[in-house]
């Protein structure tokens, strides 16, 4: 069990986002007087989730324009990932490099046998091998903890809620009145505005809890929490120097990255997919203190 109970937090947050989806389905069913809409939304959620999960590796790698690298092209990456995969008794993922100066890394793929780990050219240029090992340990634990599934489910459901919310908002605004047995259009309008915001906040909270777990589990895998802490400090400074533009393509992949790739002013703390770096570093330093021999 993790010291910060992130597994329980994730389960509670998932219950919350499904409740928002079904609540929005209930509102649509009441407005259109069709109880089948609740089932439709639930099925739509499952189908969209499966598609996103199955294609998560292709989508993220394409978003970052990454290319596969051989052992001759990236010997340190291959050596580190092979050693850590063997230590975890897991298959070695495919390795990619993204041709961008912004320092970052991410893992993706539907399971350990169909996984990929990607580093940007920027991160490879600023980290030493010990720090890179800490980052790669973090990314491998995202794969082994099935965080790609977790993130895909949360993103897919949040996307459905946003789409349904837009539909309800349009209908409430332009329905031209209402029947006596239908809900007040203002109620539908309020739900249409609030539900996507609530879903997005929950999705971000899920992502933040998974980052804490990957930090902790990755540090245990490498046996060197301070290496990851040092890497996170460099990443925070590196992203500040070379942030990515928050385009829709990159926003869909940003939650997979080890560091938020955007400028702080481009995303509020509430909507951030990553916990504050200072808190992550402090937890890792606390781990290192606890792991020291007495």
Distance between CA 120 and CA 103 in Å, rounded? 6
pLDDT at 117: 96
Phi/psi of residue 97, each to 5°? -130, 135
Question: 273 near 205, Cβ under 8 Å?
Answer: no
pLDDT at 294: 44
Does the active-site annotation cover 131?
no
Q: To 5 degrees, how large is the angle CA 11–CA 14–CA 19?
A: 130
Say how many Å lie between the first and final Cα of the chain, rounded: 23
pLDDT at 272: 65
Q: To 5 degrees, how large is the angle CA 124–CA 259–CA 266?
A: 125
pLDDT at 148: 76
User: Of these residues, 131, 139, 211, 216, which one is catalytic?
Assistant: 139
CB atoms within 10 A of CB 272: 18
pLDDT averaged over 10-residue windows placed end to end, the chain, 294 residues: 52 70 70 67 69 72 93 97 97 96 91 92 97 98 85 69 66 54 57 65 73 94 97 95 83 83 62 83 93 57
pLDDT at 258: 94
Q: Which of 150, 144, 156 is nearest to 117 (CA)?
A: 144
Q: To 5 degrees, how large is the angle CA 85–CA 62–CA 56?
A: 55
């Amino acid at each position: 069990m993790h010291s910060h109970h992130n597994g329980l937090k994730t389960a509670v947050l998932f219950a919350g986002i499904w409740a928002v989806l079904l609540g929005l389905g209930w509102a649509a069913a009441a407005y259109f007087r069709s109880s089948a809409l609740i089932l439709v939304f639930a099925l739509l959620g499952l189908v969209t989730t499966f598609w996103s999960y199955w294609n998560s590796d292709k989508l993220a790698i394409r978003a970052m324009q990454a290319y596969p690298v051989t052992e001759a092209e990236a010997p340190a990456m291959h050596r580190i990932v092979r050693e850590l995969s063997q230590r975890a008794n897991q298959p070695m993922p495919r390795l990619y490099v993204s041709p961008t100066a912004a320092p970052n890394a991410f893992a993706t793929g539907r399971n350990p046998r169909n996984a990929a780990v990607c580093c940007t050219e920027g991160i490879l240029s600023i980290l030493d091998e010990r720090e890179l090992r800490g980052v790669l340990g973090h990314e491998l634990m995202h794969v082994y903890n099935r965080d790609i599934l977790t993130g895909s489910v949360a993103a897919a459901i949040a996307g459905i809620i946003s789409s349904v919310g837009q539909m309800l908002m349009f209908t409430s605004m332009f329905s031209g009145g209402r029947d006596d047995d239908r809900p007040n259009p203002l109620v539908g309008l309020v739900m249409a505005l609030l539900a996507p915001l609530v879903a997005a906040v929950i999705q971000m909270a899920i992502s933040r809890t998974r980052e804490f777990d990957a930090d902790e589990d990755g540090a245990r895998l490498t046996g060197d929490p301070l290496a990851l802490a040092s890497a996170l400090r460099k990443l925070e400074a590196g992203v500040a120097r070379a942030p990515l533009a928050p385009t829709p393509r990159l926003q869909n992949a940003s939650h997979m990255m080890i560091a938020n790739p955007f400028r702080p002013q481009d995303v509020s703390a509430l909507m951030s997919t990553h916990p504050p770096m200072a808190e992550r570093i402090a937890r890792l330093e606390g781990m290192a203190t606890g792991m020291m021999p007495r």
